[in-house]
Amino acid sequence: MAADDASPSTYEEARKQRLEENKKRFEDLGILNISKSLSKLTSPEKKSKQRLPKPKPENSASFEPRRSSRARNAVTSYSDDMDIDLPPLRKRSRFSSSWGSYVARPLEEVKLASYEDRARALRVAEEFQSSLQSGNPSFVKSMVRSHVYSCFWLGLPTQFCKNHLPKEDLDMILEDENGSAYDAKYLGKRNGLSGGWRGFALDHKLDDGDAVVFELVESDRFKVSFKYS
């Protein structure tokens, strides 16, 4: 029994002695320090959490925001009056179905006035206006296609309407240079002539670029003189 009890103790002491001897050898060779250095390098360190930027999609090139191809809604303006002083930017075909279907005269009679023709007719009409001896209020209007070929809405100068015409609707008479009279409708809220103006323009074959002198000879009667371009 004594021999059995001594055997494990002897073995354990021998093992400890070998470990101490190995440790001393490692220290002499510097291996122990190298092992400690490697353990520090390989040990995970706590890293501060950082938000990474979201990856951009592959097709993330900067594009200009899409603009609608739908045309903007039209804004009320005096475009017809502006056309008096500016030549047309683009000559539209007189025979296009979208416009030609609304023309009230044969297409071969439709005219597109040049800037020079329009300016010449205006000059003659203004000279005629200045020669009037009656002292009646008057104004000159240069014709555009919507006045004489289609639509037939004739807007009058706003200031003239405020000074000389009523705010409510009025039955007007248009008298030409030969004394022929045409019934027309003046719309006070819109400052323009409707109704009978169409017949007057067609009967006298007024064209784009013609200049027309309106003389208010009575409260409800215009004497109308026109100078062809």
pLDDT of residue 91: 43
Q: Specify which residues 186 forms β-bridges with.
A: 170, 193
What's the whole-number mean pLDDT along residues 107-128?
93
pLDDT band at 71 (very low <50, low <70, confident <90, very high): very low
More confident residue, 57 or 207: 207
Which range scores top for mean pLDDT: 44-48, 50-54, 73-77, 203-207? 203-207
Which residue, among 152, 189, 190, has the nearest Cα to 174 in the 3D structure?
152
Tokens of 127: 């000279």
Is pLDDT at 78 greater than 70 in this prediction?
no
pLDDT number for residue 208: 95
pLDDT of 148 > 50? The answer is yes
State the DSSP string of 92-136.
Answer: --TT-HHHHTT-SS-GGG-----HHHHHHHHHHHHHHHHT--S--
Counting residues of the chain whose pLDDT is more than 70, the rounded percentage is 62
Query: What pTM was computed for the model?
Result: 0.57
User: Is 222 strand, coil or helix?
Assistant: strand
Nearest to 148 by CA among 223, 98, 204, 192: 204
Q: Tell me which of 99-108, 109-118, 135-144, 203-212 is least confident.
A: 99-108
Radius of gyration of the chain (CA): 49
Among the ranges given (63-67, 95-99, 115-119, 176-180), the one the predictor scored with the smallest mean pLDDT: 63-67
Other beta carbons less than 10 A from residue 215's beta carbon: 17
* pLDDT in the model for residue 22: 74
Cβ pair 123, 219 in contact under 8 A: no
Q: Which of 83, 90, 88, 91 is nearest to 147 (CA)?
A: 83
Residue 185 has pLDDT above 70, yes or no: yes
Q: Which two tokens stand for residue 37?
A: 């250095």
100: left (phi over 0), alpha (psi -120 to 50) or beta: alpha
Euclidean distance between CA atoms 137 and 218, whole angstroms? 10
How many other C-beta atoms lie within 10 A of the C-beta of residue 144?
Answer: 22
Give the confidence band of 26 by pLDDT, cuts at 50, 70, 90. low
pLDDT-wise least confident of 181-185, 204-208, 224-228: 224-228
Question: Is 60 exceeded by the pLDDT of residue 65?
Answer: no
Place of tokens 């320090």: 33
How far is the C-alpha of 22 from the C-alpha of 16, rounded, in Å?
10
Decide: 215 and 138 in contact? Cβ < 8 Å: yes
